[in-house]
Structures are given as C-alpha cells and as structure tokens.
Chains A and B, each alone.
Chain A
C-alpha cells in the first residue's frame, strides 16, 4: 500500500437549506487503503459519499481524485476517472439483464465496444462476484445478497481505483455478510482502495485498516480501528452519555 492519498476532501461542507449536513470534513484515502466510515443514522455518511461521487455538490470545500480537483465534475466523469460506488439501497437497471447491467460501465467507463468483448468481460466480472449463474436473469429475480453483489459487480466493472461501498451488507445474514466481506477483501487485494460505510461493527473492525467516524455532520475521529472505538466521543455517540 502506497501512502500517497488518491482521494481527498478538504473543508467539505454541505447544507440543505438551513440544515448543515456536513461541516468542513477533511478526509484522505491512500491508494489501496481500506477505510471504514461509521456514524449513527443521519450523521451525514451518505451525504459525504454523495459529495465525493458527484451525486451532490458541496457548498464549500474541495474534492480531489488522483491529484485532480473533481469538486464540480459530474458523477459520470468521476466514474470514468476511476471512482466507483455502490448504493445503500441496491439500484439495478431493472430493464436490463444482470449481464447487461455489468455491460453498462464496461461500455461507458472501460470503453469496450465490441459485443463479444463486452459479454466476455461482463461474465468475467460476474464470476468474480459469484453471479455468473444469474447472468441472463432479470434483477427482479435476484435475492437481497445477489442484488448487493450486482451493485459491487457494476462498480467493479468500472475498473475503479477507489470503491465506495455504501452499506453493502445492510439487511444480510451473518454468512452473507462474510460473503460480501470476502469479496471486498479480494477486490482490495487487487489494489482497489475501499471506503466501507457500514453499521455492522464486526465487519467494520475486521475489514478496516483505519476507521473514520462522522457524527452530526462532523468528523469526530480518524485512526486505528481499536483506538477509535475507545475514543470517548465515539463511545458517547454510539452509547449515549
């Protein structure tokens, strides 16, 4: 793992009317690093991710990716630079098959044009996420864990350098959580930096090299997972006074 930051935010602030959802968040992700992003519901984690990936525009601050200021870039431009995400609630393209879902980023991000090439690469991606058998299925026929895998597969097909997995394990059983965790570890072993937003602490602690905590729109802790979990403010945020 190199120490050079690949994704950074400086003073990132997002307001919805009078409500300040994010307050001057400074963040850096090193190349190939695994970071857990935690915080209570409504703390601003997804807003932060949305600002990083272009779904929302921050009012203040800047986001850089591979040294490029991407603060005002559209989401598709960020995806093409190598910044991929999965969504908290799976958002498959329901009119397309599982394989065609994967072919979208392969065509638009990886730039593949021949159908044979697209199909081969899509099936390779589906095999990596364990969905090859469902290649011709409609997303309507997938289980919850399979939908999560499809989300990850679609993000992976974009050949990212950084993947942001937004609650990729929410609502899954213990064995399914392990399955997704294993998949994320495999992706990371290929050099993909991963930000894992998660409520399942067992998964966060097992996965993360570093944990960042956001509470009420502010970053209150950032560091080694064990140290962060002992941090008085984190304990207070999670367990109350």
Chain B
C-alpha cells in the first residue's frame, strides 16, 4: 500500500489546527512574548524582536508567490522599499499615523505587484526572476534621483514623542510588526487552504495541465503578485520609524531580499509554517550573532545555512521532517 502523501498529512494537521485555534495560539504566544520582552526591560529586545517578526512577514509574503505559485521573485526589495518610501512620502506631506500609512503602503506595493504581474504575464522561471530583479534596480534608480524622498543622501524620520497605550515607541513598533506578521501568516494560511491555494499549487506543478483543468493561470498569477506585493509593502511601512534614517542602500538592502527568499527555502515553501519556522530560526540566530559576534556575519549565516539545506534537505525543514515520517511508516 502506498503511504499517504505529505499533503495528506498536512490536510489532517490543517483540520486539527482550525482557524480559531490558530488565532488563539497567536494571541496567547503574542501576549507571552510581550510579557517576556517587557521583563527584560530593554528597548533593544523589542527592536530585535521587531526585526525577527519583520522577517516572518517578509518570508510569508514572498512565499505566496515564490512558494505556492513557484514564481521566484528576486525583487523583494522593490516591494519592501515601496512600503518604506510610501511611508516617507506620507511622513513628509500629511504626517498621517502609522496605522493609516500601512494600508496605503500595502495598496501602493500591491499595485506595483499587479503591474509587475501584467508586465511579466508570459514569463516563467529564470526570466520572471530576472525581470523582478530588474524592477528593484529601476525603482532604486528612481529613488536615488528623487530628492523629495531624500535621494541618495537619505532622509531622517522623527518618531512621535508619545504614543497612546505604549510606554515607548519601540514597544509600539514591535506590536505593529507582530500584528503584521500574524496577519500575513493568517492570510497565507487562508490562501493555502482555499481554491486559490489549490490553483496556485497546480500552476506551480504544470501550467498547461492546470489550464486544462480550468485554472486561469494568468489571473491566478496576478492575484498572487498583488497579494504578495501588498504584504511585502505593508512590512516596509513601519521601517522608516524603526531605523529613523532611510537611504536607498538600506531600503533596497540585499540583506532584506536574501533573507526573505532564503527563510522560506530553509523552512519549507509548501506550507505557511515553513517561512515562519525559517524566519524565526534564522532571524533569532542572526540577532544572537549580532549581539555576541557581529552583524557582519548575518548574511554569511544565511548563506551557509541555505547551502546546507539545499544540499541536505531541499524541501526545507518541514519537508525534511515529513520525509522522515514517511520513511518510518
């Protein structure tokens, strides 16, 4: 008898972990995390946790297009920076609160995703990836030459002096990113379990066979690029208030792009849980290395871990564990 597949066991797990339970786990673990970080009495702890959660949001967002649909987006930085600079523009003009800025940044990056989807409708594989990389280069060039947003000199962003309900802005930023990360994960999970997820999975495996099974591949691709782009942009919106100084090398950082791609690959791209595990593990590891050794090691850590995983467990941690389970049966 053939053993049940990876996806079948995933379906059972999904049935067990229903939406209310997942939400409860998120709320409880968030409260515990906030309590633990508060006990450390260090604003750095909140900022380090913010960075890890930012990677959870970015990795999850990237995975919707790269993992579910199989379209590898090398232009993560373009979407992240769209969120960053939308935030900068709002800060320099109307100074709306961050909670209003985030949906606007998400809409701007979502539109960029839709546009990229249209421009690359017929591209697949490496051609699609190169086109997304080109998008990041084009946007970078525009920003470098746009003095209103600071150009190549960069721009300072002052955090508000006070924020309601929070004793410090770091704590507020942490909670904002926590909500964004949880929101991204819940959206990714909902997509995975919906007709959209099934269509994207079919598309990833065989575009023509999917089309013949009624899957409108181009439309699905546009939906995926838009949602993925919007979530990447949303994660970028609080960034100017996190760093307080933004310039193109920071907003279009290689580190952001590499991490957002490597973390899902290390955790596993087939499910929503893979990017979360990859981001939590690698992000935490990087933060520890930053404090104990040097932040210069961060990309090296990602590179080494990625090479190990591609060689030993190409389906990431989730795939590796499931393969082990299959073998035991």
Contacts and interface: CB of A to CB of B under 8 A. Distances in A.
Interface of A: 53-55, 74-77, 79-80, 84-85, 87, 91-97, 100, 103-105, 107-109, 113, 134, 136-138, 140-142, 154-155, 157-158
Interface in B171-217: 195, 198-199, 201-202, 204-206, 208-217
B2 interface: yes
Contacts of B2: 134, 137-138, 141-142
Contacts of A105: 213-214
Given A95-B7, A103-B198, A76 B211 contact: yes
A109 B213 contact: yes
A138 B5 contact: yes
B4 interface: yes
B214 A55 contact: no
A92 B206 CA distance: 8
B7 A96 contact: yes
A133 to B, nearest CB: 8
B214 A91 contact: no
13 contacts: A74-B211, A92-B209, A93-B201, A93-B205, A95-B204, A97-B11, A103-B198, A107-B198, A108-B213, A113-B195, A136-B4, A136-B5, A138-B7
Residue among A55, A138, A155, A157 having the largest count of chain B Cβ atoms under 10 Å: A138
A227 to B, nearest CB: 33
Contacts of A157: 213
Contacts of A104: 198-199, 202, 210, 213-215
A1 to B, nearest CB: 25
B8 interface: yes
Contact of A108 (B201, B209, B214): B214
Interface of B: 2-8, 11, 195, 198-199, 201-202, 204-206, 208-218, 270
A55 B198 contact: no
A22 to B, nearest CB: 19
Contacts of B270: 95
Contacts of A80: 214
Contacts of B8: 97, 136-138
Nearest to A164: B212
A108 B7 contact: no
Contacts of A92: 205-206, 209
B198 to A, nearest CB: 6
Nearest to A102: B213
Sort A-B residue pairs by CB-CB distance and give the 6 closest, nearest first: A138-B5, A108-B214, A109-B214, A141-B2, A75-B211, A136-B8
Contacts of B212: 53-55, 75-76, 79, 84-85, 87, 155
A97 B201 CA distance: 11
B201 A54 contact: no
* Max chain A C-beta neighbours (<10 A), residue from B202, B212, B215: B212
A108 B199 contact: yes
A79 B5 contact: no
B257 to A, nearest CB: 25
Given A53-B212, A77-B216, A79-B212, 13 more contacts: A54-B212, A91-B208, A93-B201, A95-B270, A96-B201, A96-B202, A109-B214, A136-B5, A136-B8, A137-B2, A138-B8, A142-B2, A154-B213
A154 B210 CA distance: 10
A234 B44 CA distance: 82
B202 A75 contact: no
Contact of B206 (A93, A103, A108, A138): A93
Contacts of B4: 97, 136-137
Contacts of A109: 213-214
Given A54-B211, A95-B204, A96-B202, A138 B6 contact: yes
Given A97-B11, A136-B5, A142-B2, A107 B199 contact: yes
Nearest to A151: B209
A73 B216 CA distance: 11
Given A79-B214, A108-B214, A108-B215, A93 B5 contact: no
A108 B220 CA distance: 11
Contacts of A79: 211-214
Contact of A96 (B3, B205, B216): B205
Contact of A93 (B3, B6, B209): B209
Contacts of B209: 87, 91-93
Contacts of B5: 97, 136-138, 140-141
A109 B5 CA distance: 25
A58 to B, nearest CB: 17
A84 B214 CA distance: 9
B37 to A, nearest CB: 38
A219 B186 CA distance: 55
